[in-house]
Amino acid sequence: MIYGRKFRKVLCIGLTLVIAVNLLLAFDAKGTLQNLILGGALKELHSPLSEWDGAVLKRLSRLEVELQHLEESMKLALKQQERVNNTLKRVTDIQKPVRAKLSGPRKRMPHMKLFPDSPLFKQWGEDLSEAQQRKAQDLFQKFGYNVYLSNQLPLNRTIPDTRDSRCLQKTYSSQLPSLSVILIFMDEALSIIQRAITSVINRTPSPLLKEIILVDDFSSNGELKVNLDEKIKIYNQKYPGLLKIIRHAERKGLAQARNTGWKAATADVVAILDAHIEVNAGWAEPILARIQDDRTVIVSPVFDNIHFDTFQVSRYELAVDGFNWELWCRYDPLPQAWFDLRDVTAPVKSPSIMGILAADRLFLGEIGSLDGGMLVYGGENVELSLRVWQCGGKIEVLPCSRIAHLERSHKPYALDLSSALKRNALRVAEVWMDEYKDMVYLAWNVPLQDSGIDYGDISSRVALREKLKCKTFDWYLKNVYPALRPIHNIVGYGTLRNALDDNVCLDQGPVPGNTPIMHLCHGFSPQHVYYHLTGELYVGHLVAETNADDRCLTDPGDGEKPTLEPCSKAAEKGLHLYWDFKPGKAVINRGTRRCLEIKKDPSGGYVLVLQTCTGQVWGIQHTVRNWGRNDSQ
């Protein structure tokens, strides 16, 4: 499968942007790239019927999630590419060794490649014996990164200093606040955690580093028990009292693990990090200085990428942290106001944080630390971000503070992350998003009433919001994140099925491409439609943003086939994008009066056509506020 091999799911941690930028470099034509990735993935979505079974469905759910990420990063990458042309050269330089190896003449393999399809051996491991390959592959399967290599690399290895040279000229007060570093982990390799600890000790000024707190969210691998305790003892012999470890007696999830670390911390400032990181030179001073300056700022360092196979570090471009209406985290372009400052070291105002953050310890407590009701993984960063902004704080990315972060090739534990995120997203929506919460339900294609999804007890979080006298989500949208554009007149959404056969659904069709089709129903976002009271019919994943377009079903006026057009362009050009529709009725174009209908094709499937109405009717999965229900027409 082209997908799983090439791309990794990144939730709020890790950066697809530069992966995409690097790919742009590798295949210079943008079109080729999109074809390769999106086209390839979508071809899978439209695989022949015979393949249609449980396994395919399962893969689809993963594919869908990853696709959306990819789409987002692609958009961002293309946008950012114009802005970063000058800095791209540097990325290329860092990448050179890898790319040279790829294109250069291949060495004769001394050993047979036992796992030619494993991502681990794409760029690494040519000289390994068969026994070594087996060992490395086993560890890779278990952890999702190259533990075999990690175990050989020095714990105190040097990594490239990825800061802009202007960061090196900054000076900081000699009276900075003290720092507690909290490292959260669950089933991490021991050498990875040790390297994180070593980097923190070596690259944080020792008078400022008060403690390192490890939080183990109930790991299952044995080496993290006695062996880790041994290592901690050795560190503490050299640096008395520096390391502490707290172990959960059951799995509590990311948000509660962070809270555990925060509660145990005693320094002025807490930095809450993953344990699969290496902090870079000078990472702490900008954080401490900024928080000393303003205790209500929650700061995010900039991530670089530690490759999961080679452990090489490549530099990621600066971006701000955002999210879409499903509350998936993603990277957004830098704001114009920051460019106007003409200072590459200046903090960047950010709508959200990603997986790592630093904050004034007491301030983080005053605003409610993390929501312990967030389960497993996902959503907790957006929750904290809305709370920080709405309740009187701010979020900034600090360009001079950089942390190299290991992006796994796969998650070692079999979790359906999207169902956890969906549940957590509804929780965020219910507590923080007021009348805009519907957008989250729409984006996830969940019914507004009786969703059947248990987002837990929110009463204490609602009480916190009242106690802190927090601002509305409307304020947040207008003042912090205007890129999100709520829509108020969607009255029907979900899958759209013709009464002739409800096994097939309207589907956006292959991408790239703009021809919708009928396809067996799977209910993932390529089959989501959003019908507006004003007549637009969006097809595909809900975007609803100012700088990106949803796609509208359009009657081109001639021929049989409807098309999908970017809605704002279609409206500008006066295309026929408005439809009359009610549940259980025909879908009729307001301009051409042609009907959206289906026709059996010779192979036994259905094709979607525009034709003189023959009386075919359609049903839509969900309706808003009983739209169309009691309509006798």
**Could you tell me the smallest distance in angstroms from the CB atom of residue 146 to Mn ion?**
16
Select the residue interacting with Mn ion from 10, 11, 13, 212 (CB under 5 A).
13
Select the residue interacting with ligand NAG from 154, 207, 574, 615 (CB under 6 A).
154
Residue span binding ligand NAG (CB under 6 A) among the ranges 153-161, 446-454, 597-605, 613-621: 153-161
**Could you tell me the smallest distance in angstroms from the CB atom of residue 282 to ligand NAG?**
16
Distance from C-alpha of 486 to C-alpha of 137, rounded to nearest angstrom = 46
Distance from C-alpha of 311 to C-alpha of 297, rounded to nearest angstrom = 32
Minimum CB distance to ligand NAG smaller for 154 or for 207: 154
In residues, how long is the chain?
633
Distance from C-alpha of 301 to C-alpha of 305, rounded to nearest angstrom = 13
Q: Give every strand in the sheet of 618-623, ordered side by side.
A: 563-566, 551-554, 537-539, 529-532, 490-498, 618-623
Asked if 503 is part of the footprint of ligand NAG (rule: CB under 6 A), the reply reads no
Minimum CB distance to ligand NAG smaller for 152 or for 158: 158
Residue span binding ligand NAG (CB under 6 A) among the ranges 62-70, 74-82, 150-158, 616-624: 150-158
Minimum CB distance to ligand NAG smaller for 178 or for 202: 202
By CB under 5 A, the residues from 258 to 317 that bind Mn ion are: 274
Asked if 515 is part of the footprint of ligand NAG (rule: CB under 6 A), the reply reads no
**Could you tell me the smallest distance in angstroms from the CB atom of residue 158 to ligand NAG?**
5
Q: 278: number of CA atoms within 13 Å, CB side?
A: 29
Distance from C-alpha of 503 to C-alpha of 522, rounded to nearest angstrom = 9
Residue 169, Ramachandran bin (φ over 0: left; ψ between -120 and 50: alpha; else beta): alpha
Token pair 């028990």 is found at 225
Distance from C-alpha of 334 to C-alpha of 162, rounded to nearest angstrom = 18
Q: Which does 158 bind (CB under 5 to 8 A by kind): Mn ion, ligand NAG, none?
A: ligand NAG
Strand partners, 564: 553
DSSP state of 247: E
Asked if 156 is part of the footprint of ligand NAG (rule: CB under 6 A), the reply reads yes
Question: Could you give the angle at the alpha carbon of 207 between the alpha carbons of 201 and 208, nearest 5°?
Answer: 75
Q: Are 309 and 136 in contact (CB under 8 A)?
A: no
Distance from C-alpha of 9 to C-alpha of 137, rounded to nearest angstrom = 20
Q: Which does 13 bind (CB under 5 to 8 A by kind): Mn ion, ligand NAG, none?
A: Mn ion
Asked if 158 is part of the footprint of ligand NAG (rule: CB under 6 A), the reply reads yes
Minimum CB distance to ligand NAG smaller for 155 or for 254: 155
By CB under 5 A, the residues from 116 to 145 that bind Mn ion are: none
Residue span binding ligand NAG (CB under 6 A) among the ranges 25-33, 151-159, 175-183, 402-410: 151-159
- Chain residue whose CB lies nearest ligand NAG: 156
- Give me 384's structure tokens: 């904290």
Amino acid at 606: Y
Q: Which does 274 bind (CB under 5 to 8 A by kind): Mn ion, ligand NAG, none?
A: Mn ion
**Could you tell me the smallest distance in angstroms from the CB atom of residue 405 to Mn ion?**
6
Q: At what angle do helices 16-26 and 85-103 cross, to 10 degrees?
A: 70
Q: Which residues bind ligand NAG (CB under 6 A)?
A: 154, 156, 158
Q: Which residues bind Mn ion (CB under 5 A)?
A: 13, 274
